[in-house]
Amino acid sequence: MHQPLTLSAKEAAAELGVSLPTLYAYVSRGLIRSEAPAGGRTRLYRADDVRALVTRRDRPADMAGERALDWGAPVLESAITLITGDGLYYRGRDAVVLAAGATLETVAALLWEVAEAPFTEPPPVLPSPEAGLAALDPLDRLLALLPTAAAGDLRSMNRTPLGLARTGARILRMMAGVLAQARPSQQPLHRQLADAWGVTGEGVDLIRGAMVLCADHELNASAFTVRCVASTGANPYAALSAGIGALRGPRHGGMTARVAALLPGLLTGPDPVQSLSAFLARGEELPGFGHPLYPRGDVRAAWLLRRMAAAWPQDDRLHRALALAKAATDLAGSPPTIDFALVLLADRLGLPAHAPITLFTVGRSVGWVAHLLEQVRSGMLIRPRARYTGLRPG
């Protein structure tokens, strides 16, 4: 029997044995091609891509080790975040719409799905700093203090969903305090950071929106790391510490430091576009531009750049940066990412050097707790197999 070349969304999802949101996530990652038929409104999905994915997933047990965890390969099903290529959605809610007015605590309640509000407890007391920690980078100082905080938090033994969520809320407030070098409070997290940095006016709301947009980004390296640790039954402090360790890498949250090292040089020259052209002509990598999940541009960066332009219409340095972003899109086909937008926000607000990664870390911790909760609820241990490539015995 002749097999159809295309399938409807329901047919494709049924063949894969996944939900429709998971199908759309595969499409956004380029694993399955979709097309809009002439005169039709419903997209169709390439049957050969669907069947290739089924074959790849359902290989015999003796070939299971060949299912490499390459970038973009499906690993786990999740109901937390959907990335479509044109949008970012937290449990079906548009993250850009949420960024317009929601607090990070509101987004946490949405993503964590627990019966009671988790941020109602008094703020935690920061552990006493040990000798030598003052000289550390803020994230390293946080990593050093988390085990001490865990040892003193007996309530973190409560592994009910609400208990885990409340532990997550305490950790988030501790993170904000350590990274902002301020005492944790019951104020909204964006207010704690803004007050510590002396930000007022429009800047406060921009910090809030930026953190909401950083709250989760599906199964990235740090979220997967958190899920692996959580699947072993480890304490939430250990799971989030592992997430921070993954985030620090220059190909993940550490990308903001790479952007911060490049941006001033491009903006201080007589013509930022010419500076960018010379940079590209040398064949150098352009950090902070081009995201594989957003071929038409990172929706998080687009929102934040629009809001900055509206807040500071007369800011010459901002306009130079926006011209630079447009040139990168036109010349290299690489629109700006959230990393570029965070660094530019910190630049225009006069924030400390560690502010972009602080906004990213505190915001993303909300997603980490959501992934921790989802993994604990599943009851599964994450244990991929390796494809052995070394010497064989005998």
pLDDT tens digits for range 47-78: 888 888 877 655 544 444 344 455 665 578 89
pLDDT at 269 (0 to 100): 79
Q: What sections of 248-298 are H helices per DSSP?
A: 255-268, 272-281
pLDDT at 62 (0 to 100): 42
**Same structural domain, 69 and 111:** no
Question: Residue 27: which residues within 8 A CB-CB, separation 6 or more?
Answer: 33, 34, 45, 84, 85
Q: Report which of 175, 180, 182, 205 is spatially closest to residue 363, judged by C-alpha positions.
A: 175
* Angle between helical axes of 202-213 and 104-112 (0-180°, round to 10): 20
Dihedral Cα 188, 191, 196, 199, nearest 10 deg? 170
Encoding tokens for residue 29?
A: 């990652």
pLDDT at 40 (0 to 100): 61
**Residue 82: inside a domain, yes or no?**
no
Give the pTM. Answer: 0.83
Encoding tokens for residue 139?
A: 């994230």
Encoding tokens for residue 387?
A: 């494809």
pLDDT tens digits for range 328-347: 999 889 999 999 999 999 99
Encoding tokens for residue 27?
A: 């499409």
**Residue 125: inside a domain, yes or no?**
yes
**Same structural domain, 261 and 298:** yes
Angle subtended at Cα 97 by Cα 107 and Cα 187, rounded to the nearest 5 degrees: 40
- Given 153, 298, 339, 347, the catalytic residue: 339
**Same structural domain, 54 and 130:** no
Number of domains in the chain: 2
- Distance, CA of 205 to CA of 191 (rounded, Å): 9
Dihedral Cα 19, 68, 224, 222, nearest 10 deg? -130
**Same structural domain, 55 and 132:** no
Spacing of C-alpha 356 from chain mean position: 13
Number of residues written out for the chain: 394
Is residue 241 within 8 A of residue 365, CB to CB? The reply is no
**Same structural domain, 66 and 215:** no
Question: Residue 370: which residues within 8 A CB-CB, separation 6 or more?
Answer: 80, 108, 111, 112, 216
**Same structural domain, 62 and 130:** no
Q: What is the CATH number of the domain that holds 13?
A: 1.10.1660.10
pLDDT at 28 (0 to 100): 62
Angle subtended at Cα 357 by Cα 243 and Cα 355, rounded to the nearest 5 degrees: 145
Strand partners, 196: none
**Residue 91: inside a domain, yes or no?**
no
Q: Helix, strand, or coil here: 214? A: coil
Respond yes or no: is residue 2 known to be catalytic.
no
Pairing of strands 81-83, 34-35: unpaired
Is residue 80 within 8 A of residue 90, CB to CB? The reply is yes
- Residue range(s) defining the domain that contains residue 297: 103-394
pLDDT tens digits for range 202-254: 999 999 999 999 999 999 999 999 999 999 999 999 999 999 999 999 999 99
**Residue 1: inside a domain, yes or no?**
no
**Same structural domain, 248 and 169:** yes
**Residue 88: inside a domain, yes or no?**
no
**Same structural domain, 244 and 191:** yes
**Residue 159: inside a domain, yes or no?**
yes
Question: Residue 105: which residues within 8 A CB-CB, separation 6 or more?
Answer: 119, 188, 189
- Distance, CA of 90 to CA of 218 (rounded, Å): 9
**Residue 231: inside a domain, yes or no?**
yes
Give DSSP secondary structure letters for 93-112. EEHHHHHTT--HHHHHHHHH
Sign of CA dihedral 164, 166, 168, 170: negative
- Given 190, 291, 354, 371, the catalytic residue: 291
**Same structural domain, 202 and 294:** yes
**Same structural domain, 370 and 308:** yes
pLDDT at 339 (0 to 100): 97
pLDDT at 212 (0 to 100): 98
**Residue 319: inside a domain, yes or no?**
yes
Q: Report which of 314, 323, 362 is spatially closest to residue 342, judged by C-alpha positions.
A: 362
**Same structural domain, 133 and 249:** yes
Give DSSP secondary structure letters for 366-392. HHHHHHHHHHHHHTPPP-------SPP
**Same structural domain, 28 and 70:** yes
Between 33 and 357, residue with greater pLDDT:
357
Is residue 30 within 8 A of residue 71, CB to CB? The reply is no
Which residue's structure tokens are 């885990």?
Answer: 164
Whole-number average pLDDT of the chain: 89
Respond yes or no: is residue 339 known to be catalytic.
yes
